[in-house]
Structure 1
Amino acid sequence: MLSVLRVHLPSEIPVIGCEITPYVLLKRPDNSISNEDVPESAPINGYCMRYKWYRVQSDQKFTVCSVHPTEQATLQCLVCVKAKVPLARSFHCTPTCFSDAWQHHRALHERASTASNENGTEEEEMFGRFSSTGSGVKNAGISASTSNAGQSPSLTNASTPIYPTTVAERSGDGLFEVGRSRTYTPTADDIGHFLKFECVAIDAETKLPIGNTNTIMMSRVIPAPTPIPRRMIPVNGVDVLGHMDPDSRIASSGTFSILSYNILSDAYATNESYSYCPSWALSWPYRRQNLLREIIGYHADILCLQEVQSDHFEEFFAPELDKHGYQALYKKKTSELVQVYIGNPNAVDGCATFFRRDKFSHVKKYEVEFNKAAQSLTDAVIQPSQKKVALSRLIKDNIALIVVLEAKFSSNQGADNPGKRQLLCVANTHVNVHQDHKDVKLWQVHTLLKGLEKIAVSADIPMLVCGDFNSVPGSAPHALLAMGKVDQLHPDLAVDPLGILRPASKLTHQLPLVSAYSSFARMMGIGHSLERQRRRMDPTTNEPLFTNCTRDFICTVDYIFYTADSLTVESLLELLDEESLRKDTALPSAEWSSDHLALLAEFRCKPRVRR
């Protein structure tokens, strides 16, 4: 006979758009224990499982707080209503909540004012980009007024629900059946209502229960928090007064954009490491939807993602991004150490590169395994008696994925190369994280650059080097990337127990690499947007103040480098300030689902100049 031994949910707080998959442990007719489903379509020995999901309907209207989505809202900001800020962001649970969030909340008013003044249609792109679809939210009939956007807040009692409710099939007093499968994805109609899950083993022929019905009540369904959208800031289309050209992106035919983003592998997103993040916001069903919504919202032509688990790539990111026109390439970390650490071979992460099929076609793929390079290095320069020690230090399972693409759009080839096809080389990597292995970091970066140099010699091709380098500005790996060499007196070179960095004069490369985000530091002109971005840059390194922000660690480790002789930066995704992220303690949070920030740059190909 089939029976249910245990049922539990990954999170007690359901979020709109995030699939809920209960863990159901079964005892099968052969007395084996398994969590594999036995659906009605495939019974075992005449027995199967039946599942039902209910919405607990009530007449009570429930509006959720935009800061604390598990709390009921009691106040609404009238400035948001007048400025046409998304309605869901205007509600707060208490006056203290609103007061504490005011500095960050005011940014919504400023954004709405800018959007209204500069471009009436930009508002939809800015605020609609990350909003939950299907919410049914309407804000029609309210005139836009942003003259008091910077003044003290105006409040009103929240008396109407954020989302409308509709009646589903009635199945008892206050219960409305909404699903009959093992999984369920809350919809906008569920917002503010409790969910109830039932499962029971049944006789496949009579459909009668053969045991007790297992029931779990969940909390109220909450809307997915929506972060303030990040805008693209032109860096090659700013006039002498620092005014932004709203048509620069449209006029930039022949340009392309690239995103680099460490999305935080689920294997590393533990409650122990990120105890400040709500458990429901740290769960993979929520994070994957939030990450996908963010990534798609950037509309990048090329995506370089790090810490993508192999199972998540195959089962989620590749098929989901395929729906949006992206072709996928992937390289999993070699698993000598990683698999031992996480215990699940399917959860080994790697680098994934996606590109829009309407903008590029795939030409060639190179896979760099630093473990293999370590083996070759030790065979060549390490004494036999020291090989075991050397390999133990060098083998860290890190990899790089290099992809050569051909552009389908027209580019400025120059008069001497009419009709010649435009190729592009994109490197995506995740360098060793251990801070006490500075020699390994530098060796990995040097190995990657030497490989890229070989490609550059064989083909005159623009290059982009993206990823999480786990190296701060001013470190030896960063110096090698940005300057083409490492000063022989650099303190990082003092850590070289294997002697693999000697002589230091060999630590060079000939690629004219420049960090894309250093363009913010070089921007001329004045203006609020420009000045705000300059304040988020480190003037001593010309890099962002941070790209990684956790409770105990904040620094810059992510970069997009480009060959400056063949590419020019057109615009950059704006940086965020630490204060706005610290309101939720740090990253990841309910709004941002990684502990890293996404970097995005738009480029234009220059006329070819032979290197």
Structure 2
Amino acid sequence: MVPSTVASLSVQKLQRNINVPSVSSPTFAHTRLLDCLFSCPVLQFYPMGGSSSSRLFGTLAQSLNSLPLAQPDLYPEESPDPDLDLAKLDPDQLLRECEEALQRRPARPHRDLVYPSGMVYRHHKNNPSIRVMQWNILAQALGEGKDGFIRCPLDALNWQERKYLILEEILTYRPDIVCLQEVDHYYDTFQPIMASLGYNSSFLPKPWSPCLDVEQNNGPDGCALFYRRSRFSLYASAHLRLSAMMLPTNQVAIVQTLKCQVTGRRLCVAVTHLKARSGWERLRSAQGADLLQSLRTITSLGGGRSNAASATVPLVVCGDFNAEPSEDVYRRFTSSSLGLRSAYKLLSSDGQTEPPYTTWKIRPSGESCSTLDYIWYTHDALSVDCLLDIPTEEQIGPDRLPSYHYPSDHLSLLCDISFKEEPHRLM
């Protein structure tokens, strides 16, 4: 029996509110560099797996499987989502349903919220914290078809259960802003579920997603940004295709300027996923430089609307940078004129050291334990109130990630930030 929280999501409402665009086939300049970087697969899409027998997703799957799977326009005009007519889901009930669906799996690692050294928690009624989550959730097609996690049983990657683990992580911490990478189930899972939980969202796929090389894929993977409608309204938005050496690359970023409903202040949020693998350090550095230049332009114009809004907007940048702190792209961000700092350095005793890892996996090439994921924030305008700690090696387990108890090869990062007092308000 389908639970009442989901049963009211009728086929008509889903079809009216979920914007599945028509197929578009953009052409790309055939440059010598890009021919070396990427291959352009045939754009074919297949539904991932069979119909779901789960109670939570039964109605959604039935409704959405009848819709065409198509490649979204890569650079659509962005506007705030209209008022959604979807039935609202109770997050507590949805969390219980996730836990029930995962009864046969071991529990996710317990993680505590940690207050940075020297920081004291203060609740400000007129300036409440904003909870931000950063997470590479692992594209389903890549996990099953390309990544080669040799110590992870294929059954542990089954989408019909793995999606519950991902949602359980989000529902446990109830972030106000969620920045995800490697999303290849946006239209059939995350957009409708998160919309019913009160979030607006935006999705930007990679131009040539490696997911498309996998048989029975669910379309291209990309970045997705969600924000809670009760907390923010959309002021301005940009979809970026990152460039390197003045040539477009396969990596993208979403940048949205939000207006806080409580404080009336603006916050610019960016999500990105830079080029993976060793040997591409110079490309990642160039992509980071391109993103920083775009962020300087957007924030200096008050969010991108007009020169009238001249105040610089505080910035949060979330992403899988595929770069250790020793790489040049990391140094670009730490030395940027935007005044960015990495939130997770605050977990260290000296406040200057990144966590020992944000991803830990075993592939045929060997074991990889790396720090690749970051939440950057404008230090002069924002403060970090607390952060979600990093699971221990014992919690992660000998087979590393992903596993039966954790859905991705990357750990989620989460912190609470708040606006610092504006200079003219200081006494």
For residues 44-443 of structure 1, the aligned pairs below 5 Å read 132-133=96-97, 223-235=104-116, 238=119, 248=122, 253-270=127-144, 273-309=148-184, 312-335=185-208, 338=210, 341-342=213-214, 346-370=218-242, 373-374=243-244, 377=246, 396-410=249-263, 421-443=264-286
State the SS of the aligned residue for 2:299: helix
Sort the Cα spacing of 1:425 and 1:409 in 2 relative to 1 into closer, same or farther, 3 A.
same
Residues 531-554 of structure 1 show CA distances to partners (whole Å, capped at 9, x for unaligned) of: xxxxxxxx8x61010000102111
Which residue matches 1:548?
A: 359
Sort the Cα spacing of 1:269 and 1:367 in 2 relative to 1 into closer, same or farther, 3 A.
same
Aligned partners of 1:15 and 1:286 also within 8 Å: no
The code of the aligned residue for 1:401 comes to I
Q: Post-superposition shift, 1:577?
A: 1.1
Aligned partners of 1:18 and 1:289 also within 8 Å: no
Q: Post-superposition shift, 1:575?
A: 1.2
Q: Post-superposition shift, 1:607?
A: 2.2
Aligned partners of 1:328 and 1:352 also within 8 Å: yes
The code of the aligned residue for 2:159 comes to W
- Structure-2 separation of matches of 1:18 and 1:274: 28
- Structure-1 separation of matches of 2:58 and 2:412: 27
Aligned partners of 2:110 and 2:391 also within 8 Å: no
Which residue matches 1:3?
A: none
The code of the aligned residue for 1:400 comes to A
State the SS of the aligned residue for 1:559: strand
Q: Post-superposition shift, 1:231?
A: 2.2
Give TM-score scaled by structure 2 length: 0.70
Q: Which 10-residue stretch deviates more, 451-460 or 425-434?
A: 451-460
Q: Post-superposition shift, 1:363?
A: 1.2
The code of the aligned residue for 2:262 comes to F
Aligned partners of 2:211 and 2:221 also within 8 Å: no
State the SS of the aligned residue for 2:391: coil
- Structure-2 separation of matches of 1:572 and 1:432: 26
For residues 445-594 of structure 1, the aligned pairs below 5 Å read 445-459=288-302, 460-482=312-334, 484=335, 509-521=336-348, 542-551=353-362, 552-583=367-398, 585-594=399-408
Q: Post-superposition shift, 1:609?
A: 4.8
Aligned partners of 2:166 and 2:407 also within 8 Å: yes
The code of the aligned residue for 2:331 comes to A
- Structure-2 separation of matches of 1:236 and 1:521: 8
* Structure 1 gaps, min length 5: 1-8, 22-35, 38-127, 136-186, 189-220, 240-244, 379-394, 411-420, 485-508, 524-538
Which residue matches 2:85?
A: none
The code of the aligned residue for 1:518 comes to K
The code of the aligned residue for 1:544 comes to P
Aligned residues: CA RMSD: 3.3
Which entry has the higher C-alpha Rg, 1 or 2? 1
The code of the aligned residue for 1:266 comes to Q
- Structure-1 separation of matches of 2:58 and 2:129: 40
Q: Post-superposition shift, 1:238?
A: 4.6
Aligned partners of 2:320 and 2:372 also within 8 Å: yes
Q: Post-superposition shift, 1:236?
A: 7.0
Aligned partners of 1:15 and 1:223 also within 8 Å: no
- Structure-1 separation of matches of 2:152 and 2:246: 42
- Structure-2 separation of matches of 1:457 and 1:479: 22
Q: Which 10-residue stretch deviates more, 437-446 or 574-583?
A: 574-583
- Structure-2 separation of matches of 1:134 and 1:514: 35
- Structure-1 separation of matches of 2:105 and 2:124: 31
- Structure-2 separation of matches of 1:129 and 1:602: 24
- Structure-1 separation of matches of 2:117 and 2:124: 14
The code of the aligned residue for 2:330 comes to H
- Structure-2 separation of matches of 1:435 and 1:252: 46
Aligned partners of 1:265 and 1:308 also within 8 Å: yes
Residues 109-145 of structure 1 show CA distances to partners (whole Å, capped at 9, x for unaligned) of: xxxxxxxxxxxxxxxxxxx99974498xxxxxxxxxx
The code of the aligned residue for 2:402 comes to P
Paired residue total: 333
- Structure-2 separation of matches of 1:326 and 1:451: 25
Which residue matches 1:389?
A: none
State the SS of the aligned residue for 1:223: coil
The code of the aligned residue for 1:364 comes to A
The code of the aligned residue for 1:264 comes to L
- Structure-2 separation of matches of 1:129 and 1:442: 44
Q: Which 10-residue stretch deviates more, 429-438 or 337-346?
A: 337-346
Q: Post-superposition shift, 1:297?
A: 1.2
State the SS of the aligned residue for 2:171: helix
* Structure 2 gaps, min length 5: 1-47, 60-64, 67-91, 303-311
Q: Post-superposition shift, 1:521?
A: 2.3
Q: Post-superposition shift, 1:323?
A: 1.8
Residues 443-480 of structure 1 show CA distances to partners (whole Å, capped at 9, x for unaligned) of: 00000001111122212210011110000012111111
Which residue matches 2:4?
A: none
Residues 49-90 of structure 1 show CA distances to partners (whole Å, capped at 9, x for unaligned) of: xxxxxxxxxxxxxxxxxxxxxxxxxxxxxxxxxxxxxxxxxx
- The counterpart of 1:601, out of the listed 390, 415, 427, is 415
Aligned partners of 2:156 and 2:403 also within 8 Å: yes
- Structure-2 separation of matches of 1:134 and 1:293: 6
Sort the Cα spacing of 1:556 and 1:15 in 2 relative to 1 into closer, same or farther, 3 A.
farther
- Higher RCO (CA-CA < 8 Å; seq separation 6+): 2
Aligned partners of 1:280 and 1:286 also within 8 Å: no
- Structure-2 separation of matches of 1:438 and 1:445: 11
Identical columns (%): 29
The code of the aligned residue for 1:517 comes to Y
Q: Post-superposition shift, 1:298?
A: 1.1
The code of the aligned residue for 2:230 comes to D
The code of the aligned residue for 1:404 comes to T
Aligned partners of 2:126 and 2:262 also within 8 Å: no
Residues 154-204 of structure 1 show CA distances to partners (whole Å, capped at 9, x for unaligned) of: xxxxxxxxxxxxxxxxxxxxxxxxxxxxxxxxx78xxxxxxxxxxxxxxxx
Sort the Cα spacing of 1:450 and 1:602 in 2 relative to 1 into closer, same or farther, 3 A.
same
Q: Post-superposition shift, 1:430?
A: 0.2
State the SS of the aligned residue for 1:358: coil
